[in-house]
Chain A
């Protein structure tokens, strides 16, 4: 929205920046999701377009970061239909590697072993977040977020 419009109607900010209205129900969902994540489960968060799935995921990631019990990793690739297991493994490497010039092994067996060692080194459970997961690999995945 243009600032002229906002000023005309006395709005301090755009509606999109109005804040997060948390209902009892949404609080319960976040609480349940955090428990499921901590239990090491595969969780699918689904809902209609625009209902707040992505926003909720961001809040959960922030909450996990603040709790410091679980490391949050996230696949950032926008081309969801091109995402493969290798892409997700790469996302984990990028988010977990502590060395500045870390190189991801190209050979699959070596790569997976390196990831296993990296996970052990970080000494915390890891949650991998994938937004818009319904488009993964040509729509094969059933989870949405």
Chain B
């Protein structure tokens, strides 16, 4: 389960530690899959976390796309219109940023 959702050593270190700490609190040994599922961030591979892992936070994206930070936050949370979302996605791809 971890290898399906996680990609970096830092993520494995963090989530393995979280899982053991949470399982310890309820005396679970060995740690079961549901415990791992509970500690994993629900949106771990969403657009915003993926871009942040690439070094593009909302501030950087706003500068790069010449947009307002508020609009970028709406874009990242999927609250922009489909037309504007498409525009920003195209701009990101044109800038060489993987989506």
Give A contacts to B, CB under 8 Å.
Answer: 1-2, 4-5, 8-9, 11, 14-16, 48-52, 55, 134, 139, 144
Contact = CB atoms under 8 A, between A and B. Distances in A.
A4 B24 contact: yes
Interface residues of B, number: 20
Interface in B38-73: 52-55, 60, 63
Q: What DSSP secondary structure best describes chain B's contact surface?
A: helix
B10 interface: yes
Interface stretch (B14-22, B74-82, B83-91): B14-22
Given A1-B17, A4-B24, A15-B13, 13 more contacts: A5-B21, A9-B20, A9-B24, A9-B29, A15-B12, A16-B13, A48-B55, A49-B52, A50-B8, A50-B10, A51-B7, A51-B10, A139-B60
Nearest to A18: B13
Given A15-B13, A16-B13, A134-B55, A51 B21 contact: no
B16 A15 contact: yes
